[in-house]
Amino acid sequence: MILSVEELTFLYRNREVLDEIVFTIDAGEIVAILGPNGVGKTTLLKCLNRILRPKTGVVNLDGEDLSRLNLMDIARRVGYVPQRVETGRLTAFDAVLLGRRPHIGWDVTEHDLRIVDAVFHRLSMDALRLSYIDEMSGGEIQKVAIARALVQEPKVLLLDEPTSNLDLKNQVEILSTIVQIVRQHTIAAVMTMHDLNQALRYADRFIFLKDGRVHSHGDRGIVTPDAIRDVYGVPVEVVTHKGVLLVVPIA
């Protein structure tokens, strides 16, 4: 178990957004947080690296209580890819190098440069190294953001809708790369997702949120027509196509 969340509650202007969230994640696992817009998926993700401070509850990261760590300590353990990243006039290499921020003192070392270089190679982005990110496509920028989180050398990777701006090719490429890296380095990834089929394809475990609470939590078995109708209010069928589970809304 690399991450455990106990009784997490989050208030926004005294309104309860998340209520007694409980779940655990093992190393080498990919978890999809699912649920309708505005249910608190992103909020939950931000509570996991203390971008937001939960009102109550404990987030335990590899045996350490997150509330006892400072932001920089957390950033050495948790990488975060937000939905939106800003671009400026700097090269992809420098943009990714920024991910070493939690590890560097006054200046970067050769070690930092080597790590960045390796991640560029790993994500097949070598050709982009000296491209300026303000001239890049949405897919390339997303890759830069993911690379930036990877050079943090995190134990847990948090991704907020990692494929929302991407075309089909980039979606497949990025998600399968994340799966490979999570398995290979036995880290964990938590992603918020809208596309249930994508979640079924790439995630190992699923957390359905409804009204700020965990509706259900488990492996593929919990992704049932009943659960989906309950959470999204949409009637669906779950069918198997060539061994792949597919969620099909009933018109």
Partner 1 sequence: MHFADGAIPADYLGYVRRKHLWILGGIVLLFVLLIVSIAVGAVNIPPYDVLLSLVNGIVARVNAFIHPGAAIRVSNTDLIVWNIRLPQALAAIVAGVGLSVAGVAMQSILRNPLGSPYTLGISNAGAFGAAVSVILLGTGQMHSTVADAVTLNNPYLTTIVAFIFCLLATAVILLISRIRGSSPEVMVLAGVALSSLFSAGTMFLQYFADDTQLAAVVFWTFGDVGRINWQELGIMTVVVVAATIFFLANRWNYNSIDAGDETAKGLGVNVERVRNVGMIVAALVSAVIVSFLGVIGFVGLVCPHMARRIIGDDQRYLIPGSCVTGGVLLLASDTIARVIVAPYILPVAVITAFMGAPIFIYLLLRGYRR
Name 247's Cβ contacts closer than 8 Å, sequence gap at least 6. 196, 197, 200, 223, 228, 236, 237, 238
Contact region for partner 1 (CB under 8 A) — 7-15, 151-159, 223-231, 241-249?
A: 151-159
| Residue 143 in the binding site for partner 1 (CB under 8 A) | no
| Residue 121 in the binding site for partner 1 (CB under 8 A) | yes
CB 105 within 8 A of CB 72: no
Name 105's Cβ contacts closer than 8 Å, sequence gap at least 6. none
Q: What angle do CA 82, 85, 75 make, to 5 degrees?
A: 50
| Residue 151 in the binding site for partner 1 (CB under 8 A) | yes
User: Smallest distance, Å, CB 76 to partner 1?
Assistant: 7
Name 134's Cβ contacts closer than 8 Å, sequence gap at least 6. 87, 88, 89
| Residue 202 in the binding site for partner 1 (CB under 8 A) | no
| Residue 16 in the binding site for partner 1 (CB under 8 A) | no
Q: Which is nearer to partner 1, 40 or 102 (CB)?
A: 102
Q: Which is nearer to partner 1, 97 or 196 (CB)?
A: 97
| Residue 113 in the binding site for partner 1 (CB under 8 A) | yes
User: Smallest distance, Å, CB 153 to partner 1?
Assistant: 5
| Residue 119 in the binding site for partner 1 (CB under 8 A) | yes
Which of 185, 194, 201, 213 is close enough to bind partner 1 by CB under 8 A?
Answer: 185
Tokens (6 digits) for 231: 């959470």
Q: Which is nearer to partner 1, 95 or 223 (CB)?
A: 95
Q: Which is nearer to partner 1, 1 or 234 (CB)?
A: 1
Reported residue count of the chain is 251
Rounded CA-CA distance 20/251 in Å is 35
| Residue 216 in the binding site for partner 1 (CB under 8 A) | no
Name 192's Cβ contacts closer than 8 Å, sequence gap at least 6. 32, 33, 34, 41, 42, 44, 45, 159, 160, 161
Contact region for partner 1 (CB under 8 A) — 2-10, 18-26, 98-106, 201-209?
A: 98-106
Neighbours of 50 (CB within 10 A): 18
Interaction mask 155-174, partner 1, x per CB under 8 A? x--x----------------
Question: Dihedral angle at the C-alpha atoms of 120, 71, 176, 96, nearest 10 degrees?
Answer: -20
Interaction mask 51-90, partner 1, x per CB under 8 A? x------------------xxxxxxx-xxxxx-xxx-xxx
Size of interface with partner 1, in residues (CB under 8 A): 58
| Residue 132 in the binding site for partner 1 (CB under 8 A) | yes
